[in-house]
Structure 1
C-alpha cells in the first residue's frame, strides 16, 4: 500500500476537518432523526464521523471514500468499532454513488471535492446536486472553508485548486439559492480550526523522521510543507464553517 500525507495524518485525527466532533453531534441532534434513518457521509476519510452517526444516533450510513488508500483506513476503523452492520463503505467517487442512491434523510459533506462529478462546481451547484438526493424534510450537514476576508490572489489560487469557496454570507446565499432552509451556521473558532492542520502536520513530520528513506517520503514532505505554508499564510483569511441545511417538505 502506497502511503500518502492524508493517510498518515488522518490516522492521527478524530475529525478530518477543522471542526470538533462535539460541534457535529450538536448539529445532528438538531435534526431529530430517529434511529434507522438513512445517511450518507461523503469523503468519509478515517470514517470517524460515519461511525459516530451510527453509534450515537443509530443511523444507517453509507460512507463514501474515493481514495483506496484512505478507504483502507476507513474500513479498519469501521471494523474496529464493530459498526460493519450499520456503516457500509463505498469506494468510489461521490457523484457516482449519489447517482445510484435513493434519496436519504441526512447527507454529511465535510471538505468534499467534486460532489457533482463536473470538476469544481460553484457552491450553489454543489448544494443543488446534493438537495436532489435528500428526502423532503431531509438534512444536509455541510462543512467547508470559509473566507474570513478577501484573500490575496495567490492564496485563493492555491487554496481553490480543487474546490471553490466563499465567505459566510456566500455559503448562506448559495444554500438558499439551491432551495435549502439555513437552520444553523457556525464558524470554528481559530484554536479549533488550527488544531486540524497542526495535528496533521505534526503526525506526518513524526512519520518522516522515523522513515526518512521511504519511497513516498519526498511527496509526503512536499504536501506537509504545502499545508503548513497555506496555514501560516492564510491564518487571517481562512476559517471553517459548518451549516445545517434543511430540504423543505
Structure 2
C-alpha cells in the first residue's frame, strides 16, 4: 500500500485503504504501508542508530543467531518522536482492529550484519492457551520500520502469510529459540516450512511500515551485502497483554504529548 499525499497530510487513511489494510492483516497476517516516513527523519534515525549499534556490538554477543543483534532502543530522540511512536496512520490501522486502548509494550530493533544466516521459521509468541487447539482473534501486532531499503541481498525478513497467524495447535507452532537454529530447521516442522511452504521476502523501501500479526511465522535471512540491515521493532497490543518492558525517564514522560502518554501508559518510569 502507498500513502497518498492527502492521507499523509490528514494523518488518516481513506476508508477504502483502511479496509484494505484490515483485510491484509486479518487474512494475510501482515500489511506493508509505504511512504510513511520521509528522508530527513530517516537520516536522523539512521545516524543515531549506528552510533548505538556500534557501542552495543562492542559490548554484546549476537543474540538472534550469527551476526544478528536484537538491540533495545532508548526512549529518546530521535526514536521517541510522536510521528514515529504514535504515528496517526499506524495507530488508525491498529486501533481499528485491536481497539482504542492499545498499549506499546516493546521498543527495540533487529539488525542483520554481513555473515548473518537463516533463522528457523518461528512465531514470536507461544499460544495463549497451550492446552487447547483454538484460533484466537488478533491481540498483538509487531510494527517494523526498515531504516534502509529491504533488498533480496541484505537480509530481508521472510514471512509465511495466509494463515500461519491463525494456527491454534500448540504442537506445531514454532516458537523462537535462537540457540538451536539448525536443529529446529531440521525438525519436522522446520522441514515442512522450508520444503512444503514457500516463504515470501518482505522487499520494501526504507521509511515503510510493516505491520504483522505477532503470531505469524517468519524468519531473518542472510545479509550478503557489506552494510548492516537495521530495522526498528515495536509491539502494540491489547491492554491485557504484555510483550516486554519499555522504560522511560519519569520527567521526560510527563512532557510527552497526550497521545504518546496514552500508548505508553504502562511503561516503567525510572
Question: Which structure has the higher relative contact order (CA within 8 Å, separation 6+)?
Answer: 2
Give the TM-score, by structure 1 length.
0.26
Give the TM-score, by structure 2 length.
0.24
